[in-house]
Structure 1
């Protein structure tokens, strides 16, 4: 029995020494950080002033921002829209002046304007001449708004197009339909597959 007590005492003493030895141990942490240089090279340098430059060019000369962005097909659309607005402005301005001059001559007592007819009875009354003047003025203003809108659209388009040109659009991203035959229920399953390839 005495041996058992000594054995238990010895076992208790050894475990307490081991426990103290574990408490005094220090653990060093060595963290190694691996820095890998980015190997993805950009195809072109990012120019943050390119959108402002394109917008400035289009503001100075309409269509020049599209030339800067290499979107030549947009130039005829811009000039056609602006030319149509200017053409209709000029035509409505001429009509307005014709109606106004005829009305002023009638107020002065003349009966020889182009809308009076044979000189005895007017083809177009004074009220109709006033309405024609208002209509021509409204159409003239609308033509001016269309011309200014095409000019502003030209500037905005050059700016937005220059912004979007700086995003890299790669062929590595594709979206295509996916047809899969399910062998368990013998039916075709349809879906979409999004594929991205890392180079």
Structure 2
């Protein structure tokens, strides 16, 4: 019983909230007008999706900015440098970890060092180096993900500012004021011209 009452109220609310559109005030193909309006807006969601390919969202934002404000392209080399560095250090630490593991396994079977580079280390030193290489490798995985995520976040946030107008005629006036003829305060007036 309660379910039918709630369902009835929801249906009546939805039906009363719908507005009828007067088709005489629109051209015959009104869907085309809405699609054109929608496509002309700069979308932060599109910028984030384009950033799945690193730098794609920054290029999308750069192309959409007005002529005097274009500045998003300079971030692309930084993104690729961050991804390249973290990827390189990941591979380097992974290879070092594999070498140290092989060295430790060889020492446990043969009681002598395999590689000359690690001859001065004892078994505990090899294990310590192995743990350091593993920790650094895992840190580089997180750093790579962080750089990639910041790439997407930067494109999404900057897309909100593509059409943000900062004109030279902005002014802020700060004046003392009285609230209720008793409490002193400050009045802030921001003017857009």
TM-score range (shorter-chain normalised) is 0.5 to 0.7
Q: How many residues align?
A: 137
Distance in 2 between residues matched to 1:112 and 1:169, nearest whole Å: 67
Q: Residues 116 and 147 from structure 1, CA distance in 2 versus in 1: closer, same or farther, beyond 3 angstroms?
A: closer
Equivalence map 1:1-199=2 (5 Å)? 50-59=43-52, 61-70=53-62, 71-109=72-110, 111-115=112-116, 122-174=119-171, 196=191, 198=193
TM-score (norm 2): 0.62
Q: State the partner residue of 2:21.
A: none
Distance in 1 between residues matched to 2:81 and 2:117, nearest whole Å: 37
Structure 1 gaps, min length 5: 1-44, 177-193
Deviation readout 1:132-166 (Å, 9 max, x if unpaired): 11110000011111111000000000000001223
In the TM superposition, what is the alpha-carbon distance from 1:197 to its structure 2 partner? Answer: 6.2
Q: State the partner residue of 1:42.
A: none
Distance in 2 between residues matched to 1:95 and 1:146, nearest whole Å: 18
Deviation readout 1:120-140 (Å, 9 max, x if unpaired): xx5211111111111100000
Q: Which runs of 4+ in 1 moved over 4 A?
A: 45-49, 194-197
Distance in 1 between residues matched to 2:117 and 2:61, nearest whole Å: 56
RMSD (Å) for aligned C-alpha atoms: 2.8
In the TM superposition, what is the alpha-carbon distance from 1:111 to its structure 2 partner? Answer: 2.2
Larger Rg: 1
Decide whether the 8 Å contact of 1:93 with 1:140 is kept in 2.
yes
Structure 2 gaps, min length 5: 1-36, 63-71, 174-188
Distance in 1 between residues matched to 2:99 and 2:192, nearest whole Å: 69
TM-score (norm 1): 0.60
Q: Residues 77 and 111 from structure 1, CA distance in 2 versus in 1: closer, same or farther, beyond 3 angstroms?
A: same
Q: Residue 155 of structure 1 aligns to a residue in which SS? A: helix
Distance in 1 between residues matched to 2:117 and 2:46, nearest whole Å: 57
Q: Which has the higher helix share?
A: 2
